[in-house]
Structure 1
Amino acid sequence: MLPGILSLDMTGPAETFALAGDAFRLHFVGPQPDVPTSIGLTMSGIKPLPETLPEGSLLVLPGVSDSSHQFSSPQALSIQHWLMRLQPEIHRHRITVMCVCSGALLAAKSGLLDGKQCTTHHDVIGRLRVAAPGALIKENRIFVQDQNIWTSAGITSGIDLALHMINRLCGPEKALAVAREMVVWFRRSGDDPQLSPWLRYRNHLHPAIHRAQDALTAEPQKGWQLADIADLAHVSPRHLTRLFQEHLGISVRDYLEQLRLAVAEQWLLQGRGVEHAATAAGFSSPRQFHRARQRIVS
């Protein structure tokens, strides 16, 4: 926590992790007990920088409103020296580092991004190249992982990255539950340029379709029948089919299949096998999953 911290860079991931329940315990540390934020409010109750961090810690470095000035302050320099002292633990993967927006500059100034793939907000890319000439900087990316170092493009992408971390550490069901609670949608990976199916077909105002979509996104793995979905939408199966084609340009079956594909991909990113990923997402078999995947590719 630094003076001038971008409030959403901090509160976005913090609220996301808090909604994951007991899986995370939040601690706020910094060189001073009170810091003014980008929106004029002051955050207080900040604990001093600890000598060490417990193994398994996730250290979040948020951005600031004026990184060209605020990352050169005495407070920022004290954090840089603190990060340098933590480098051995970070290099041994005992601590995971998550940079939000211009927070990547703070990591770069501390030597954490040398030889690493990384990204940051598009307005800061040029300065990141100067701060970390040995880094492999990726432009136009939501977030980038290189081993235990994660960097994100900034502001709302910090929420994307937090959801992705929840998915990796707690599983896709927990990540989806948090995303639904926040009314945001998690992506399959940091370099996915496409909107996920959780959001792609939501640009309409028809209440019956929204009721059907709410039910399907809540339990995509369920053995849904068209009549059951139509009952929840309060329309006939035939009318629901017509509505999906008219407003979304896709069938109910294909929409559900895309949701299941997204869930299966999350399980695969989690390191689970194809059979587990397929059945957990609602496919009858890995073969059905592969066929659905092929249809999307083709």
Structure 2
Amino acid sequence: MLEAMNQRTEQDKIGEELTAQRFGMLADIARELAGEVLFPTCFDAVLRLRKELQNPNLTLARIAQVVQLEPLVAAKLVRLANSAAYAAHGQAVRDLPAAINRLGLNVVRATALAVAMGEILHAKEMAGFSALAQRLWEHSIRSAAAARLLAQTHTRISSDEAMLAGLVHDLGAFYMLYRAVQYPELRERPDTLMHLILQWHEAIGVTLLETLGLPQEIAQASVDHDHPRPVPEVPRTLADLVYIGNLLAGGYYEWLRQDRDLQEDEVRLFNEKYAGLLPEIEAAAREMRAALA
């Protein structure tokens, strides 16, 4: 991947006369991905939780003990467990073990990552990219809600696994935003940054997910999620759920920014098949957004 990124950036540098800073950011990221990734400080909690939760023999009490060390994650887990999406007709939970028992480990992982992504979003250094970062966050939440609902209604795939995959499918874009604040020229040219993100966030995101230690199927589900292809008649894989969820959350916008033609028949068929889910997706996204606020 490092070689491919360097080759591509060299071509862009010549063909599009990219400045040294534009090339520099991609080259720096390529070096990081080939060695030690410099995650934002807010990802420390995610890394610690992930390492602890890799032990398959952890008891519920130990899991709660580990999560309790990150109060923000713990608070949001309790709030999420009491949301309409998970509470159903159950009683309200008032403690962390009960919340974790209701939600399961996939949701614990997803919530920890969501907290870290939200911290990036609100970091003062991100002020210049606030509008772009907010759109990206909204898209991630809607994608997660869509993937979860699709899993529930169209497959036997774990809905919580689908939610996690939908939430993190654009993690590479968040990371590129975080890195971009270190380059003055890119801070002043958000359109240039958007171009770089559209070109590179998928490949960077897959490597980041693998570095974070997420299951391989989660990382691979984000591969080529922005590359137009025929929409599956019936979603059968986690990658199908991420692809369709991304479109339901506005993924066509990313295609347009990449100057890719949309086939009217394909859009019509897609809307006929899945547009009926949009009200439920919007309701689930509102609930998730409130729980993670």
Q: Which structure has greater strand proportion?
A: 1
TM-score, normalised to structure 2, is 0.27
TM-score, normalised to structure 1, is 0.27
Greater RCO, CA 8 A, separation 6+: 2
Q: Which structure has greater helix proportion?
A: 2
